[in-house]
Structure 1
Amino acid sequence: MTQHTAIILLAAFVIGLVVGGLTFLSGNPSASAVLAGLLSAGGGVPVLRTLIG
C-alpha cells in the first residue's frame, strides 16, 4: 500500500468516525450511526482521492 492510499484511507476513517459519533450523539440509534459513518467514509474516499491526488 502506498503512502497516498494510506493517507486517504486514514482520513476517510476519521471522517466516518466523526460522522458516526455525531449521529449517535444526536439521539439516533446505534445502527443508523454506524450506517452513517460507513456511508460517509465510503463516499469520502473518491472525494479525498481527487482533492489529495
Structure 2
Amino acid sequence: MTLYTAIILLTALDIGLIVGGLTYLGGTSPADAVLAGLLGAGGSVPVLRSLIG
C-alpha cells in the first residue's frame, strides 16, 4: 500500500467516524449511525482522491 492510499483511507475513516458519531449523538439509532458513517467514508474517497491527488 502506498503512502498516498494510506492517507486517503485514513482520512476517509476519520470522516466516517465523525459522521457516524455525530449522527448517533443526534438521536438516531446505532444502526442508522453506522450506515451514515459508512456512507460518509465511502463517499469521501473519490473527493479526497481528487483533492489530494
| TM-score for the superposition, normalised by structure 1 | 0.99
Percent identity at matched positions?
Answer: 72
Partner of 1:11: 11
Count, aligned residues: 53
1:51 aligned onto 2:51: yes
* 1:37 positional shift: 0.1
* 1:22 positional shift: 0.1
| TM-score for the superposition, normalised by structure 2 | 0.99
Structure 1, gaps ≥5 residues long: none
Partner of 2:34: 34
Runs of 4+ in 1 over 4 A off after TM superposition: none
State the Cα RMSD in Å. 0.2
